[in-house]
Amino acid sequence: MDFLSFREEITKYIFAEDMLQKADIILIPGNAYPQNAERAAALYRQGYAPYILPSGKYSTLVGHFAGVLDRADRYNKEYKTEWEFLKDVLVQNGVDESAILKEDQATFTWENAKNSRIVTDQNKLVIQKAILCCRNVHARRSLMYYQKSFPEAKIFVSPSVIGNITKENWYTTKDGIDAVNAEISRILYQFSLLV
């Protein structure tokens, strides 16, 4: 395999993205960027799903919600959890509060997925199709965990670009290469969680 083909295969694998279909729910892994929740809100307003489930407490590395990482001028409340922050983004972007489910205990992506399944089961929701709104460079790992937690569901990935790293340019900058390498390393390191 030549270098160009190798790069294309990495790009296709890491930057998962699907053509969307109407679904039972929109899922958002925990994070401190508003873009994923803004995208989820737009899809909700377009009628793609009746429920949205943001997930997240805060990163285990920090031990508390460390603050909004983008557009803090708009999303400027004091948030205790990622879920609280993501809920505010959703509400500010036109999502009815009654459509927002709650998962505010997860501290990393695998917990986001497992705990989201617990929440949908507790709410007696049958999830046959779901849309996953996550960061583009985090798409494959997020999808792997959510597929493990919802094995009977078809999950469609609708990623957001955060920063300037895209599937078209990731290999042109040190930040892009580092971000993709970090994701590949995490997927390999955390593979045992999936088997």
Q: Is residue 187 part of a domain?
A: no
Q: Is residue 8 part of a domain?
A: no
pLDDT in tens, 134-179: 999 999 999 999 999 999 999 999 999 998 999 999 999 999 999 9
Give the whole-angstrom CA distance, residue 161 versus residue 153: 25
Domain extent, residue 114, equals: 16-163
Q: Is residue 168 part of a domain?
A: no
The reported pTM is: 0.95
Q: Is residue 113 part of a domain?
A: yes
Q: Is residue 171 part of a domain?
A: no
The mean pLDDT value of the chain amounts to: 96
Quick check: 194 pLDDT over 80?
Answer: no
Give the whole-angstrom CA distance, residue 108 versus residue 112: 6
Q: What is the CATH number of the domain that holds 135?
A: 3.40.50.620
Q: Is residue 183 part of a domain?
A: no
Q: What is the dihedral of CA 177, 62, 114, 92, to 10 degrees?
A: -90
115 near 101, Cβ under 8 Å?
no
The predicted pLDDT at position 192 comes to: 79
The predicted pLDDT at position 95 comes to: 98
Asked which of 35-39, 145-149, 191-195 is least confident by mean pLDDT, the reply is 191-195
The predicted pLDDT at position 45 comes to: 98
Q: Is residue 117 part of a domain?
A: yes
Strand residue runs (E) in 19-172: 25-28, 52-54, 129-132, 154-157
pLDDT in tens, 68-91: 999 999 999 999 999 999 999 999
Q: Is residue 106 part of a domain?
A: yes
Q: How many domains does the chain have?
A: 1
